[in-house]
């Protein structure tokens, strides 16, 4: 509260009745109202407005159950949710239970019932909660690195105007494999479990290189099924490339060089996605991120970690891969 408003408040105190005065005194002695969000939302490392380091953030009371700060550098106030995907969502007291719904892989309808919110809210929250999660992938892989692609049927689910005739939900595409209605997702995983996946506009040398070049250490050994796009990338970047021929259902190992970890990941991903009966292509990256989050923590996952991921500030120390 600024000085002027405070003076105004002080001036009004003389108008209070005796009963009101004692209520006010009691309220002043109560600890600040907070919900269980405080503690779940990690501390700010810098001002979300101007980027000033956290030392510049002075305590500035409480808002919506969270500690509020004022930045000495830019003068603006913020809390742990400012400029995050959760910033303007309501019903913060239900967020923890919503995070729990994500951990339990609940559908929108089940999540709505689980949290006592409407179906529309559950749908909106799903994609707000997953917005930052979708961005959180490992950025560096080394050693033996496996890469392979899988495909998801293009879907305009939920869109009012379909650019083509409707398909039965989760149905079969007109073309198989690399047809126009198949969206390629490239999965890259090293033996320490670092995982990155990419929804590609097209499975061609340019897109593959854009994704892999900043990710894979030059000293790595890249294992793939030998598709030309990977060979071209490895050649151009001078990375050792081992071609392993493993068709689905066939277990071919050449010692340590195989792509069974990415293939196993693909099948866990597909099995898990089946419960959503085909996901809209525009939300596909959110589901990929959701799956990565579940795999990142495995059994250790908790609603608090999920909330930290949702505000884009996952705590590194809890991530065991
Ligand atoms: Zn600032």
pLDDT of residue 320: 45
d(CA 216, CA 139): 8
52 alpha carbon – ligand 1 mean position (Å): 5
For residue 43, the CA-to-ligand 1 centroid distance in Å is 15
What is the mean pLDDT of the segment spanning 117-122? 96
Distance CA 179, CA 153 (A): 9
Between β-strands 221-224 and 144-153, what pairing exists: parallel, antiparallel or unpaired?
Answer: parallel
- Cα(1) to centroid(ligand 1), Å: 18
Q: 3-state class of 52 per DSSP?
A: coil
Q: How far apart, in whole angstroms, are the C-alpha atoms of residue 225 and residue 146? A: 9
Q: pLDDT at position 104, please? A: 95
Model confidence at 176: pLDDT above 50: no
pLDDT in tens, 224-246: 998 999 999 999 999 999 999 75
Q: In this model, does residue 33 exceed pLDDT 70?
A: no
pLDDT in tens, 247-301: 655 655 568 899 999 999 999 999 999 999 889 999 999 999 999 999 999 999 9
Q: Please give the pLDDT value at position 32.
A: 53
- Between CA 58 and CA 53 the distance in angstroms is 11
CA of 83 to the centre of ligand 1 (A): 12
* pLDDT band (50, 70, 90) for residue 4: confident
**Surrounding residues of ion ligand 1, Cβ less than 5 A:** 47, 49-50, 52, 71, 73-74
The per-residue pLDDT for 251 is: 59
Find the range with the poorest average confidence among 31-40, 136-145, 175-184, 240-249: 31-40
Q: Using the mean position of ligand 1's atoms as its centre, give its distance from the Cα of residue 319 in Å.
A: 29
DSSP state of 81: T
**What pLDDT is attached to residue 249?**
59
User: Quick one: which of 305, 319, 320 has its CA closest to 132?
Assistant: 305
For every residue of 284-300, DSSP letters joined together read HHHHHHHHHHHHHHGGG
**Ligand 1 centroid vs 60 CA: distance in angstroms?**
13
Banded pLDDT at 39 (limits 50, 70, 90) = confident
Residue 181: pLDDT band with limits 50, 70, 90? confident
CA distances from 136 to 54, 148, 197, 287, 288 (A): 23, 20, 10, 12, 10
Residue position matching structure tokens 């979708």: 134
Query: 46 C-alpha to center of ligand 1: Å?
Result: 8
Residues 186-212 have pLDDT tens digits of: 999 999 999 999 999 999 999 999 999
């Amino acid at each position: 509260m600024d000085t002027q408003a405070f003076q105004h408040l002080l001036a009004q105190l003389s108008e209070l009745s005796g009963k009101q005065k004692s209520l006010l005194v009691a309220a002043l002695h109560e600890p600040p109202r907070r919900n269980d969000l405080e503690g779940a939302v990690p501390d700010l490392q810098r001002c979300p407005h101007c980027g000033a380091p956290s030392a510049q953030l002075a305590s500035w009371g409480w808002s919506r159950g969270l500690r509020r700060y004022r930045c000495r550098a830019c003068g603006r106030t913020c809390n742990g949710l400012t400029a995050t995907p959760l910033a303007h969502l309501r019903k913060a007291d239900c967020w923890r239970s919503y995070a729990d719904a994500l951990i339990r892989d609940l559908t929108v309808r089940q999540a709505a019932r689980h949290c006592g919110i409407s179906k529309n809210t559950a749908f909106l929250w799903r994609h707000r909660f997953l917005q930052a999660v979708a961005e959180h992938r490992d950025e560096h892989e080394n050693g033996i690195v496996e890469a392979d692609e899988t495909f998801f049927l293009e879907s305009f689910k939920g869109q009012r105007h379909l650019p083509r005739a409707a398909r039965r939900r989760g149905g079969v595409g007109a073309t198989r494999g690399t047809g126009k209605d198949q969206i390629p997702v490239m999965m890259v995983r090293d033996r320490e479990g670092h995982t990155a996946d990419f929804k590609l506009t097209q499975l061609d040398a340019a897109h593959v290189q854009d994704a892999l070049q900043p990710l894979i250490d030059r000293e790595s050994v890249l294992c793939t099924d030998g598709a030309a796009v990977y060979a071209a990338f490895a050649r151009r970047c001078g990375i050792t490339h081992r071609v392993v021929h493993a068709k689905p259902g066939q277990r071919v190992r050449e010692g340590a060089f195989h792509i069974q970890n990415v293939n196993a990941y693909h099948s866990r991903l597909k099995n898990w996605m089946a419960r959503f009966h085909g996901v809209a292509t525009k939300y596909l990256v959110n589901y990929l991120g959701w799956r990565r989050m579940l795999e990142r923590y495995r059994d250790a996952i908790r609603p608090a970690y999920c909330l930290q991921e949702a505000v884009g500030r996952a705590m590194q120390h809890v991530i065991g891969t």
